Each structure stands twice: as structure tokens, then as C-alpha cells.
Amino acid sequence: MPLLDIQGLRISFVTDEGAIQAVDDVSFSLSEGEVVALVGESGSGKSVTALSLARLLQTPPAHYNGGRILFENRDVLSLNRKELQNLRGGKIAYVFQEPSTSLNPVFRVRSQIEESLNLHRPELKRLDRPAEIIRLLQTVGIQDPERTMEAYPHQLSGGMQQRVMIAMAIACHPSLLVADEPTTALDVTIQAQILDLLRELRKKLGMAVLLITHNFAIVSNLADRVLVMYKGKIVEQGPAAQVLKQPVHPYTKALMACIPRLGVKQKRLVCIDREALAQAI
Ligand code: ADP
Ligand code: MG
């Protein structure tokens, strides 16, 4: 039984210009402890898919108009409010690109992590929480956890904010971590550190990771499997090594041809020829 099993998922948005089918008959599954990368160009439906897993999309404008999401064998689309609250930030945790989506600027790091412990790990006694917060900050590689927990988010660098967000995410022992372009806003060396951290945490905590990225280097370093999304559909999926080595779908080939390679002279970057691609698909 997979940890997550999505079948025929369809999600649309009603806008002034009509309805957009953002997710169009998507099916995939994820096993316990597995790292799956979801790749695709901007607007292909990656974030909407990710947010739907814990029903984080506002409805309306979003509409779930087909399919099924089973998480730990439970039907997410029919959970009640209380059950959803337990799921969000509990069994399914999110890390986003923008610190502002997860960190509240007016609270210290300590109280933000404490809030999630309070909500999702009520068995942990109040007195034991500071030690747990320090332990979590250490787990995500923060050298000076006592000082960091008393800081406000704006007093921390981008990389440190990202580590704090990861600490909040793992505080509740999730079985699935959804990371939506977690390193896109960071500079390259910090990106590498955060990715190392994710790899280490996955090993240590045994959680599954759904990693959204448009960076194929990240896919080859971290993912067991890859899903390629295009215009709301999954157009290719398979083991990461195989998809990277021998992409089958024309869109995946086109996406990979856009990656500049070290040591390979190219007069100009290859662009996706949309008309040719539309014909091929
Ligand atoms: P990405 O692959 O870049 O993460 P998204 O999943 O964010 O793409 O978006 C998929 C599609 O859904 C896009 O066409 C986007 O414009 C549309 N969309 C996403 N959120 C909304 C919204 N709140 N209202 C209307 N359209 C939306
Ligand atoms: Mg997105």
C-alpha cells in the first residue's frame, strides 16, 4: 500500500477569463521514504498538485472536479475540518520557497515552532518544549540554536530562514514532506547546503519527500523517481536515472535540451519550440 496514491485528479480555477484546468487527470503514487521530484515549466500545475494533497487550495476559486487522493489509505477529499487540521503540518508538512509564506514576521522563531508542537504533539510537556526546539534547530544544522530561537525571522539570513522552516516542518514527524522549489530563492552555495540537509533528513527520519524543482541537477542528486508535468498532465514518469538518461516524451527532451552544460559549446540556449511540441504531443 503506497503512502500516497492519487488517481485521476482534476482541479480547475474559475477566473474572469473562464475556467482553467490546472490539474488534468493526474495519477501517481509515492511510497514511504521515497523521494519523488516533480518537474515542469512554470504554470504546468506543480504547486496546485502539491497544495491539493492537504487540501490547502482555497475553494473557490479552486474546484476539485474529479479523482481521488488517498493518503495513508484515507480519502483526503472527504476528511472533515478537524481531520484536515491534523493532517496539515502534521503528517504532511510543507516547505515553500518564500519564507514569508511560512514564517510570521512578528513572532520569534521559538514561538512559531512551539505553536506547531502545541498543535501536533500535545503529549510533549510544556517544560520539555524548549529542549525539543533546540534539538530541532540542531537537526537542521543551526550552530547557535539558543540564540536563533529568540530571533525574529528578519534577523536571519535566507538560508537560516529556510532551515527554520524545515525545522518547523519536521517538528511534527511528518511522513511526507512537500518541498515546493525550496531553494530557488537562495544563492548557489546555500542551495547546495539545504539540499544536503534534505538528503540527510530523509535518511535520518525516513520520511517521503515530494520535491518540486525545475533544476535537473537537483533531480539527479536527490530523487528516486521523477514526474514530468506539462499543461496540467503528467507526461512522463520513471526512475530518475532512467528519465534523465533517456527521456521518452518530447516535452521532457525539450526541457532537458534547455539546460546549459559545462564544457559544451552552445551558440545560444535551446528554446522549446512550442508549435513543434504541440504537434508531437
Ligand atoms: P507551477 O507549475 O508553476 O507551480 P501552478 O500549479 O502554480 O504552476 O499553476 C497551474 C495553473 O493554475 C496556472 O495556469 C495558474 O495560472 C493557475 N492557477 C494557480 N493558482 C490559481 C488561482 N488562485 N487562481 C487562478 N488560477 C490559478
Ligand atoms: Mg509553483
Residue nearest to atom 27 of ligand 1 (CA): 13
Say how many Å lie between the CA of residue 43 and the centre of ligand 1.
6
Say how many Å lie between the CA of residue 130 and the centre of ligand 1.
39
Residue nearest to atom 15 of ligand 1 (CA): 43
Residue nearest to atom 10 of ligand 1 (CA): 45
Instruction: Tell which atom from ligand 1 comes closest to the C-alpha of 232.
Output: 10
Please tell me the total number of residues recorded for the chain in this structure: 281
Residue nearest to atom 6 of ligand 1 (CA): 45
Write out the three cell numbers for 233: 498532465
Looking at residue 99, what is its pLDDT?
Answer: 75
Residues 6+ apart with CB under 8 A from 161: 99, 103, 153
Say how many Å lie between the CA of residue 202 and the centre of ligand 1.
28
Who lines ligand 1 at CB under 6 A? 13, 15, 20, 22, 40, 42-48, 61
Burial class (CB in 10 A: 0-12, 13-18, 19+), 260: exposed
Q: Which residue, chain included where needed, has cell 518544549? A: 129
> For residue 200, how many other CB atoms are within 10 A of its CB?
13
Instruction: Tell which atom from ligand 1 comes closest to the C-alpha of 57.
Output: 23
The count of C-alpha atoms lying within 13 angstroms of the C-alpha of 185, restricted to the half-sphere facing its C-beta, is 14
Say how many Å lie between the CA of residue 63 and the centre of ligand 1.
12
pLDDT in tens, the chain (281 residues): 899 999 999 999 998 888 999 999 999 999 999 999 999 988 999 999 999 999 999 988 999 999 999 999 999 999 999 999 889 878 999 998 877 778 899 999 999 999 889 888 989 999 999 999 999 999 999 999 999 999 999 999 988 998 999 999 999 889 999 999 888 777 888 888 888 888 888 888 889 999 998 788 788 888 999 999 999 999 999 999 998 888 888 888 888 777 655 555 555 555 556 665 665 55
Element (H, E) at 46: helix 46-52
Say how many Å lie between the CA of residue 126 and the centre of ligand 2.
37
Q: Which ligand is nearest to the CA of 180?
A: 2
Residue nearest to atom 13 of ligand 1 (CA): 43
Q: Which ligand is nearest to the CA of 39?
A: 1
Q: Which residue, chain included where needed, has cell 530563492? A: 185
- Best residue among 14, 15, 48 to mutate for probing ligand 1, ranked by most atoms within 8 Å of CB: 48
Looking at residue 64, what is its pLDDT?
Answer: 96
Q: What is the pTM of this model?
A: 0.89
Say how many Å lie between the CA of residue 129 and the centre of ligand 1.
38
Say how many Å lie between the CA of residue 47 and the centre of ligand 2.
4
Instruction: Tell which atom from ligand 1 comes closest to the C-alpha of 229.
Output: 2
The phi and psi torsions of 229 (rounded to 5 degrees) equal: -110, 140
